[in-house]
Structure 1
Amino acid sequence: MPSHVDAFSAWLLEGLELTSTLFHVGQYCGAWQASTSGHRRASFHVVLHGQCWLHLPARAQGPARSVPLRAGDAVFLLADSPHCLSPDPLAPERGRETARTGTMTPLDADGREAPGSLGLACGFFEFKSGLDDLMLGLLPDHVIARHDQSALHGARQIFELIRAEALLDPHTPSPLIARLTGLLFVYALRALDGNDELAPCFWSLMRRPAFAPLVAAIIAEPGKPWTTANMAEFSHMSRARFCKLFSGLSGQPPAQFVTLVRMKLAAAMLSTGVSTPDAAEQVGYQSESAFAQAFKRVTGMQPGAWRRTANDADTARHSTLH
């Protein structure tokens, strides 16, 4: 039976249409510093060979960090975060966290690694959904997938495929690398279940036995009357304790999560042509007006406009195919 974390991962990714694009593949030697910051997009780094350090500056959630990375490790930055990779365990001077120095050269086609070099595949990814920002808000700002994590056992084969694709033609990187990296991200979400360094985010909540069943129940039946009192009772807590722990662990109040779950389902239904009254009823709203207000507050669009936009996009896809 899938764990609550696996079920939550599937729910989170459903309908988000994860797409990845490759930025560059190659190797660095000597003194260098690499970063994907400044492109206003989420990004990734996959270490193909060698070792390096990931430098993350201080943020509101915690102090600056310098994290060692080895071959097979991957980093996913879910926002355009200041950061850099370098061979130096010491972080760069303040203000130079996003500087780029050194020259990336093609990988050796025969797989030989230059002494002291680092093989790297970097790129960007995005989720094509009107709920992107809200859904990504349920995750930490970065995810590190370790090659030796037990939860990533199946991902090792994906890494080997990425490495094999990178070596096919060092001068013309394979587009399959970006697609394979998207799969690697799915595995990385599983690995979060064993991450003890998470800053407050929704995933922290999923690791607590008192809350994971509640989250799973809300996702399974969003139309139920999930009041704060009902959720506290489900979790066997007083209302005050429930609200304090939920908000402290996830960084958002419980009612906000319930609304997001409902609007995610409603958006999917509207996209398939379901009427606004039917969608409202399915996600627990007795008033169509209240539903429309909540939907616009979450998505920025009225339900009818969302449905028309989805229908227009579907019509455009079909006309392209034919």
Structure 2
Amino acid sequence: MQHTADKLADWLLSSLELKSTIFHVGQYCGTWQASTAGRQLASFHVVLHGECWLHLPASAEREAHSLRLSTGDAVFLLRDMPHCLSPDPHPPARGHESERFGSMSPLVSPAGTSALAVGGVGIACGFFEFNSALDDMLLSLLPDHIVARRDNPSLDGARAVFELVRAEALRNGQLPSPVISRLTDLLFVYALRALRTDDEIDPCFWSLMRCAEFAPLVTAIIESPGERWTTDTMATFAHMSRARFCKHFVEISGQPPAQFVTLIRMKLAAAMLRSGARTPDAAERVGYQSESAFSQAFKRVTGVQPGAWRRASIAHDAVDMQAAAETTSAAALH
């Protein structure tokens, strides 16, 4: 099952155009409350030292809950959602979950003494931007938040990344290092891979992947998107009646089977188009006999026609290659 988890994590991450930006890095002492809510962006918090609490109010999908965070823990909020960090284990009053108060001081004192020696809670906070037109679709396949625990055995590699984050944070308390943003991208990769079967998450794609009844089906759809994946054939594959299959699928994933298959197919088709495949070829490979029907489905999911997506992707890749070449050339001159 863990091999399947890693495989599907890599499959999802291959299409996420992730870019992190640092909002602030510093230390809180006394009474305080921090939040990145209200900016219409995904966000993250990394605890550099000390302890605090993450408070998440109730939503339509879950009850309110509070999580204790310690040094090396990180939380990734994949939607803009009400929340806050605070030193208080008790959540704020209803309606005040995303308020901010208290002052943040630099991690490094003017004399150069690390703030780690004087207590408080050190935090690096920032935002995620997902630049692909498919990102909203892909994010719908993930939980709305992921908590990465430092003591999780699956995060051995992430601990080394965290130490680099903390070292960068301590270099200059007045001006957050841009390197932290790139390191946070890596932390997100580890966090996604480390989602465990005992983590409590809302219904989503990840829930399907972790369910022994559905993981083989998910893998089969990804590997053979051109097959005729109707509700009946999927129910047969999962050895369930149609009624039981639909009920459990929606309960675990949060979406109907047909919608899930369409999302998977469009993601795969988008990757093919980006690689230069013609629209008719991409359509056939993901199970559409009609190019028109494929184009309608693709636009419904991504907001653009397949041809426009292909041209924009090729142009975007060309810009990235030019930027990389310029960076390499500049480095050679030095």
TM-score range, shorter chain: over 0.9
Q: CA deviation at 1:190?
A: 2.0
1:92 maps to 92
TM (norm. structure 2) is: 0.91
Structure 2, unmatched stretches of 5+, are 327-334
Q: Deviations over 1:44-75 (max 9, x none)?
A: 00000000011111100111111111111101
Q: Is the 8 A contact 2:51 2:69 kept in 1?
A: yes
Q: Distance in 1 between matches of 2:14 and 2:303?
A: 20
2:194 maps to 191
CA separation of 1:206/1:316 partners in 2, compared to 1, >3 Å: closer, same or farther? closer
Q: Distance in 2 between matches of 1:54 and 1:276?
A: 46
2:151 maps to 148
Does 2:142 match 1:139? Answer: yes
2:295 maps to 292
The secondary structure found in structure 1 opposite 2:93 is: coil
The secondary structure found in structure 2 opposite 1:153 is: helix
Q: CA deviation at 1:144?
A: 0.7
Q: Distance in 2 between matches of 1:156 and 1:305?
A: 41
Q: Is the 8 A contact 2:143 2:202 kept in 1?
A: yes
Letter in 1 for 2:196: D
Letter in 1 for 2:224: E
Identity %, equivalent residues: 65
Does 2:26 match 1:26? Answer: yes
CA separation of 1:184/1:319 partners in 2, compared to 1, >3 Å: closer, same or farther? closer
Instruction: Report matched runs for 1:51-200 at 5 Å.
Output: 51-108=51-108, 109-113=112-116, 115-200=118-203
Q: Distance in 2 between matches of 1:187 and 1:5?
A: 12
Q: Is the 8 A contact 1:7 1:216 kept in 2?
A: no
TM (norm. structure 1) is: 0.95
Q: Distance in 2 between matches of 1:114 and 1:234?
A: 58
Q: Is the 8 A contact 2:269 2:283 kept in 1?
A: yes
Q: Distance in 1 between matches of 2:105 and 2:115?
A: 13
Q: Deviations over 1:89-115 (max 9, x none)?
A: 111122211111111111125434254
2:269 maps to 266
Q: Is the 8 A contact 1:145 1:191 kept in 2?
A: yes
Letter in 1 for 2:236: E
Question: Paired residues, what number?
Answer: 322
Q: CA deviation at 1:15?
A: 2.2
Structure 1, unmatched stretches of 5+, are none
Considering only aligned residues, what root-mean-square deviation do their CA atoms show, in Å?
1.7
The secondary structure found in structure 1 opposite 2:202 is: coil
Moved more, 238-247 or 80-89: 238-247
Instruction: Tell me which of 198, 202, 206 is aligned to 1:203.
Output: 206
Instruction: Tell me which of 212, 215, 221 is aligned to 1:218.
Output: 221
Q: Deviations over 1:282-306 (max 9, x none)?
A: 1111111111111111111111222
CA separation of 1:191/1:2 partners in 2, compared to 1, >3 Å: closer, same or farther? closer
Q: Deviations over 1:232-262 (max 9, x none)?
A: 1221212221111111100011111111111
CA separation of 1:29/1:20 partners in 2, compared to 1, >3 Å: closer, same or farther? same
Q: Is the 8 A contact 1:110 1:167 kept in 2?
A: no
2:244 maps to 241
Q: Is the 8 A contact 1:5 1:193 kept in 2?
A: no
